[in-house]
Chains A and B, each alone.
Chain A
Amino acid sequence: MENILDMTITELKGLLRKKEISSVELTAFYLERIKKYDGEILSYLRTTEDYALDMARQADTKIAQGEDAPLLGIPFGMKDILCTKGIETTCASKILKGFIPPYNATVIEKLNQAGYVHLGRLNMDEFAMGSSTENSAFQTTKNPWDVSRIPGGSSGGSAAAVAAGLCVASLGTDTGGSIRQPASLCGVVGMKPTYGRVSRFGLIAFASSLDQIGPLSRNVSDCATILNVIAGYDPLDSTAIPQKTPDYAASLGQDIKGLRIGIPREYSIEGIEPDVKKAMAESISLFEKQGATAVDITLPHTEYAVATYYIICTAEASSNLARYDGVKYGFRQTGKDIIDMYKKTRLKGFGKEVKQRIILGTYVLSSGYYDAYYGKASKVRTLIRRDFDEAFKKCDIVVTPVSPTTAFKTGERTEDPLTMYLSDIFTIPVNLAGLPGLSIPCGFDAGGLPIGLQIIGQPLDEARMLQAAYVFETERKVKKIPDKYSAKT
């Protein structure tokens, strides 16, 4: 089992095909590691051991029969926001405790067809609202690089599990940075595809015009392999883009000579840690050495992105979360009449941050304030989108830090929502503009905490971003798993 944690999905599939390992053995290897290490990291809410081993046995049968599929026999962790038929799906909220979806999200259907193995459900901020995974109703996930720190969020469980080698890869969701920021803080690869590239059907909605599903993995090759599986049009999601998807994995390995890399001036804000700045500068020169050209660009409305985002996402959330009323599924608190039942159910079922966002969202949509807040934010969103349209006339990709800082201490920002919100300043504009964004590890700070580089692409141009990321990864080898967890078991 040596080096198994360092292998790509393609390499693992080679071992499976040659019968050097079975999917049941690979699955048991990961389940053992979860037992051994996750008591400390708390990335999984629940493992689905029997279900996983059953899927692994089926994969082994297929492999024995000479069948192939892109993820056949490969164990995944799943963010607990993606509806999985017959498997409890809670969104890390008390209000969905015990909810067992009668259907699969489209991405889960696609993973099933691709032959994956489902190890368990990964922790997250309740309803994906947060940047630290501290808003989970059930547990606070730790950063594998320093367990006194947060793993980022909201896909903190997904990032921590990948970083600690507790699954081959995972899926997360990204509304304002919820894949890229935890990927950055945990030192793994994470991608938010173009809005509409991946079907949102069966993704429990937070902010429907911003949410997007994407992979988290230990290398770029796996990111491309998984995107190949989950991308594509879906008649069940009216916002899915009806376009053919290229073979992302096949396009890796091309050089980046002549690639124009936009460096936005507005992203040199106060509050960026010096080590993050240094890692950025080194990353840009690495790209230049590989034949790319750095171009100075401007995104003048960046400073308005966080305010715009929190108006739009809370407005959409207040509407999306109206469905949790104690009638159709999940938790119910009894009341003297139906309104009282709704109110008490939502009082007891939702956590502090979720209630705050529902109230804020209801307020910005309420009569008399709609134009001042939601209407205004929707117009500023147009300006932010146009900034990128202009920038992409001068460059092919944009490169920025993912986060101004490395992972902060657990509890450090929980009482200060604005500081927490501002930690997403570099990722939020990408969601507002619907663009694809990728986080790739680019180094460590003086304290040994991972730093992530963000590559932003043009709409539907994930292939080019992945090519650039692949070149970067090949040239700059960054350790993916902390020593403590890389011990072979």
Chain B
Amino acid sequence: MKITKEIIENTAHLARLELEPHEVDLYTQRIDSILQYMDSLNKLNTDGIEPTSHAVPVECVLRDDRAKRSFSVDDSLNNAPGRIGSFFQVPPVIEVEE
């Protein structure tokens, strides 16, 4: 399928990325050619082949549910661009104030 600007803009929105107009053009062209290259995989018959998500078989690791010391509030929040007391500060989530 041909990659269009609309597809790139919609995908960028899903990924919460704003793009400059020249980036939309660039990625439309590049991703189209990369996906064409990836279509080469369709030459292979993979019916009945199990997918690999981890090269080394990973089993679910369990541990005892015991309370341990964790980061202090300050350690956790020190890197935050916005903070009020012991909370991360973010712009309005529900409604926009003028």
A215-250: CB near B (< 8 Å → 1, else 0) gives 000000000000000000001001101000000000
Are the C-beta atoms of A358 and B91 separated by less than 8 Å? no
Q: Interface stretch among A16-24, A261-269, A374-382? A: A374-382
Q: In angstroms, how far is the closest chain A Cβ from the Cβ of B48?
A: 9
Are the C-beta atoms of A337 and B52 separated by less than 8 Å? no
With CB as the reference atom, state the residue of chain B lying closest to A235. B63
Which residues of A, 372-414, contact B by the 8 Å Cβ criterion?
373, 375-383, 385
Are the C-beta atoms of B52 and A328 separated by less than 8 Å? no
Q: In angstroms, how far is the closest chain B Cβ from the Cβ of A12?
A: 34
Judge whether A474 is part of the interface by a CB distance below 8 angstroms.
Answer: no
Which residues of A, 399-454, contact B by the 8 Å Cβ criterion?
417-418, 421, 431-435
Judge whether A177 is part of the interface by a CB distance below 8 angstroms.
Answer: no
The answer for the CA separation of A209 and B26 in the assembled complex, in Å, is 29
Q: In angstroms, how far is the closest chain A Cβ from the Cβ of B15?
A: 4
Judge whether B86 is part of the interface by a CB distance below 8 angstroms.
Answer: no
Size of the B side of the interface (Cβ < 8 Å), in residues, is 53
Are the C-beta atoms of A102 and B58 separated by less than 8 Å? no
Query: Please, which residues of chain A bring their CB within 8 A of the CB of B13?
Result: 343
| Contact status of A102 and B75, CB under 8 A, knowing A328-B80, A346-B16 | yes
Query: Please, which residues of chain A bring their CB within 8 A of the CB of B15?
Result: 318, 322, 346, 358-359, 362
Are the C-beta atoms of A433 and B55 separated by less than 8 Å? yes
A348-361: CB near B (< 8 Å → 1, else 0) gives 00101001101110
A306-319: CB near B (< 8 Å → 1, else 0) gives 11101100000010
Q: In angstroms, how far is the closest chain B Cβ from the Cβ of A38?
A: 28
Judge whether A7 is part of the interface by a CB distance below 8 angstroms.
Answer: no
The answer for the CA separation of A238 and B40 in the assembled complex, in Å, is 34
Are the C-beta atoms of B17 and A209 separated by less than 8 Å? no
| Contact status of A304 and B81, CB under 8 A, knowing A344-B18, A360-B31 | no
| Contact status of A363 and B31, CB under 8 A, knowing A347-B19, A347-B20 | yes
Which residues of B, 39-78, contact A by the 8 Å Cβ criterion?
40-42, 44, 46, 49-56, 58, 60-61, 63, 71, 75-76, 78
Are the C-beta atoms of A373 and B38 separated by less than 8 Å? yes
Q: Which of A194, A239, A379, A459 has the most CB of B within 10 A?
A: A379
Query: Please, which residues of chain A bring their CB within 8 A of the CB of B26?
Result: 352
Our pick among A238, A304, A431, A432 for the contact of B58 (Cβ within 8 Å) is A238
Are the C-beta atoms of A358 and B17 separated by less than 8 Å? yes
B interface, over-half SS: loop
With CB as the reference atom, state the residue of chain A lying closest to B89. A327
Query: Please, which residues of chain B bring their CB within 8 A of the CB of A366?
Result: 11, 14
Judge whether B25 is part of the interface by a CB distance below 8 angstroms.
Answer: no
| Contact status of A209 and B96, CB under 8 A, knowing A102-B78, A307-B37, A363-B7 | no
Our pick among A98, A310, A335, A355 for the contact of B17 (Cβ within 8 Å) is A355
Judge whether A61 is part of the interface by a CB distance below 8 angstroms.
Answer: no
Judge whether A339 is part of the interface by a CB distance below 8 angstroms.
Answer: yes
Are the C-beta atoms of B30 and A308 separated by less than 8 Å? no
B1-41: CB near A (< 8 Å → 1, else 0) gives 00000011001111111111001001100110111011011
The answer for the CA separation of A7 and B55 in the assembled complex, in Å, is 37
With CB as the reference atom, state the residue of chain A lying closest to B63. A235
The answer for the CA separation of A103 and B79 in the assembled complex, in Å, is 12
Query: Please, which residues of chain A bring their CB within 8 A of the CB of B31?
Result: 356, 359-360, 363
Q: In angstroms, how far is the closest chain B Cβ from the Cβ of A369?
A: 9
Judge whether A37 is part of the interface by a CB distance below 8 angstroms.
Answer: no
The answer for the CA separation of A337 and B92 in the assembled complex, in Å, is 5
Are the C-beta atoms of B14 and A339 separated by less than 8 Å? no
Q: In angstroms, how far is the closest chain B Cβ from the Cβ of A92?
A: 17
Selected A-B contacts with CB under 8 Å, 27 pairs: A195-B54, A235-B61, A241-B56, A304-B40, A304-B41, A322-B15, A332-B81, A334-B91, A336-B96, A339-B16, A347-B20, A352-B23, A359-B12, A359-B27, A360-B31, A360-B35, A362-B14, A363-B7, A373-B35, A378-B51, A378-B52, A380-B46, A382-B51, A383-B44, A383-B46, A417-B30, A418-B37
Known contacts A239-B56, A241-B56, A383-B46; 10 further A-B pairs (Cβ under 8 A): A102-B78, A307-B40, A338-B91, A339-B16, A356-B30, A359-B11, A366-B14, A383-B44, A385-B52, A434-B56
Nearest 5 CB-CB pairings of A with B:
A434-B55, A378-B51, A332-B81, A329-B79, A343-B18
